[in-house]
Amino acid sequence: MTDDQPTPENDREMEAARVRHLMALLAPGTPIREGLDRIINGRTGGLIVLGNGPEIDAVSSGGFKLDVRLTPQALRELSKMDGGLVVSSDHERITAAAVHFVPDGSLPTMETGTRHRTADRISQQTGAPVVVVSASMSVMSLFLDGRRYAIERPEQLLARANQALATLSSYRTRLVEEAENLTLLEVRDQVQVRDVAAVAQRVEMWRRIDAEVLSYVSALGVEGRLVQLQRNELCLGVEDLGRLLTEDYRPDSVAPGGFSLSGLQKLSWEDLLDVAKVAQALDLDPAQHPLDAAMQARGHRQLASTTDLSSRTIQAVVDHFSNLQTLVSASTSELGNIKGVGLRRAREIRQSLESVFENDQRTHHLR
User: DSSP assignment, residue 97?
Assistant: E
95 is in an annotated binding site: no
Which residues lie closer than 8 Å to 145 by C-beta, 6 or more apart?
Answer: 15, 123, 124, 127
At residue 90's C-alpha, the angle toward residues 87 and 93, to 5°, is 45
146 is in an annotated binding site: no
Question: What is the C-alpha separation between 301 and 262, in angstroms, rounded?
Answer: 19
7 annotated as a binding-site residue: no
- Residue 231 contacts residue 165 (beta carbons within 8 Å): yes
317 three-class SS? helix
d(CA 187, CA 227): 37
Helices in 221-252 by DSSP H: which ranges? 225-235, 238-249
Q: Which of 123, 121, 60, 66 is nearest to 95 (CA)?
A: 66
Task: Tell me which H or E stretch contains 37.
Answer: helix 31-42
83 has binding-site annotation? yes
Is 100 annotated among the ligand-binding residues?
A: no
Q: Using the Cα atoms of residue 255, residue 188, residue 291 and residue 171 in order, give the sign of their dihedral.
A: negative
Cα(324)–Cα(318) distance, integer angstroms: 8
Where are the alpha helices (H) located in 109-237, listed in sequence order? 114-126, 154-187, 193-220, 225-235
167 marked as binding residue? no
Name the burial class of residue 325, with classes exposed (0-12), middle (13-18) and buried (19+) by CB atoms within 10 angstroms of its CB.
middle
The conformation of residue 338, written as its DSSP 8-state character, comes to S
Give the annotated binding-site residues.
83, 114-118
Give the annotated binding-site residues for ATP.
83, 114-118
